[in-house]
Amino acid sequence: MIGNDIIDLRLSLSEKKSENQRFMAKVFTDEEKGFIRASDDPETILWLLWSMKEAAYKAHQRNYGLPRTLNPQSFSCTVNPFENMGKVYTGSKNYNVEFEVNSDYIYSQTSTQSTFHRIYSKVKPTKDQILEEICASLDLECPVFRLEKDSKGIPSLIGPNPKKKLPLSLSHHGNFTAFAIPLINS
Amino acid sequence: MSEKEIIERLKKIVEPYVQRSEGLENFQEKTDFLNDLEINSANLVDVVLDVEDEFDIEIDNDSMEGMLTVGDAKSIIQDKIKAE
């Protein structure tokens, strides 16, 4: 179970979404809106919550083989800013999400296993370029591996044994690409 | 409003958010906002808001949840216009 999400803040902060009440109403719960308003930097915090919801949604969708949906409000977040961690609740399930926020990007990730992740600068990477980056990072022999998305858009890394699909999560926004892959021996 | 007109108006709405412009060349019911047009999911919420304005309807979260293709959007718009 793995899910990640990256936000290029250069693109997102300029959208000034915290001032867009209709956007806020569609995406966030009343508690989340209160949390965002009360923060020192509402614009960054709203994108942090968005990315946490996205990461949890991807893990949840993979976990239960669910069809794709667009319902960010059905994922609600609590944040512990001192630990760079939070929890995302959906239905009776919840996901622990770790995050990293700096002046360039927000990265969120949820995983139940130890996970390798990498964030790098790359505008509009092709599927092959992403695969190359993954193989180089994990020391895999690239020609043997390939990336595949199933009918629900859930990606996997497929190795020499085609029956063995390794789960991974991909995210791309603006200048940044990120992937997360649970470590095979964990 | 004809289906053709709805789809033409939809195309104008989504254009500013499209990351993969080839996807617009064959804009039809099957066109997938995320896969074919590479609209990011936050911008898909913007599309929903713009659709509300353009067609003077309200799209609740249950309807928004399933708005992933041009055809999905067209059906939702038709249903909401009928219900007005």
Q: Is the pLDDT of residue A186 over 90?
A: no
Pair A91, A62 in one domain:
yes
Pair A9, A95 in one domain:
yes
Please identify, among A111, A127, A162, the residue that sits at the C-terminal boundary of a domain. Answer: A111
Pair A142, A157 in one domain:
yes
Which residue segment(s) compose the domain that A131 sits in?
115-182
Q: Whole-angstrom Cα distance, residue A176 to residue A171? A: 8
Q: Whole-angstrom Cα distance, residue B36 to residue B33? A: 6
Q: How many CB pairs under 8 A join A and B?
A: 41
CATH number at residue A97: 3.90.470.20
Average pLDDT, whole number, for chain A?
94
Q: Is A5 helix (H, G, I), strand (E, B) or coil?
A: strand
List the single residue in A with minimal CA-CA distance to B33.
A70
Pair A175, A87 in one domain:
no
The strand pair at A76-80 and A85-90 is best described as: antiparallel
**ipTM of the prediction:** 0.94
Pair A28, A53 in one domain:
yes
Pair A29, A11 in one domain:
yes
Q: What values do phi and psi take at A166, rounded to 5? A: -95, 125
Please give the CATH topology (third level) of the domain spanning B3-83. 1.10.1200
Pair A53, A83 in one domain:
yes
Q: How many CB atoms lie within 10 A of CB A26?
A: 21
Pair A85, A122 in one domain:
no
- pLDDT tens by residue, B11-26: 999 999 999 999 999 9
Pair A106, A44 in one domain:
yes
A26 vs B64: CB contact, 8 Å cut-off?
yes
The residues, ordered by sequence, that sit 6+ positions from A57 with a Cβ below 8 Å of its Cβ are A3, A69, A72, A75, A90
Q: Is A162 helix (H, G, I), strand (E, B) or coil?
A: coil
What average pLDDT does range A80-101 have in this prediction? 96
With contact defined as beta carbons under 8 Å apart, do A4 and A178 qualify? yes
Extents of the domains making up chain B: 3-83
Pair A92, A123 in one domain:
no
With contact defined as beta carbons under 8 Å apart, do A134 and A179 qualify? yes
**Radius of gyration for chain A, computed over Cα atoms and rounded to the nearest angstrom:** 17
Please identify, among A89, A111, A133, the residue that sits at the C-terminal boundary of a domain. Answer: A111
Q: Measured between CB atoms, which of A23, A73, A173 is closest to B61?
A: A73
Please identify, among A95, A111, A127, the residue that sits at the C-terminal boundary of a domain. Answer: A111
| Partner A, chain B 47-76, Cβ-Cβ below 8 Å | 48-49, 52, 61, 64-68
For A118-178, where are the alpha helices, taking DSSP H only? 127-138
- pLDDT tens by residue, B29-82: 999 999 999 999 999 999 999 999 999 999 999 999 999 999 999 999 999 999
Pair A122, A97 in one domain:
no
Domain count for chain A: 2
Q: Whole-angstrom Cα distance, residue B41 to residue A50? A: 10
Please give, rounded to a whole number of angstroms, the shortest distance from the CA of A69 to a CA of chain B.
5
Pair A12, A94 in one domain:
yes
Beta bridge partners of B26: none
pLDDT of residue A185: 58
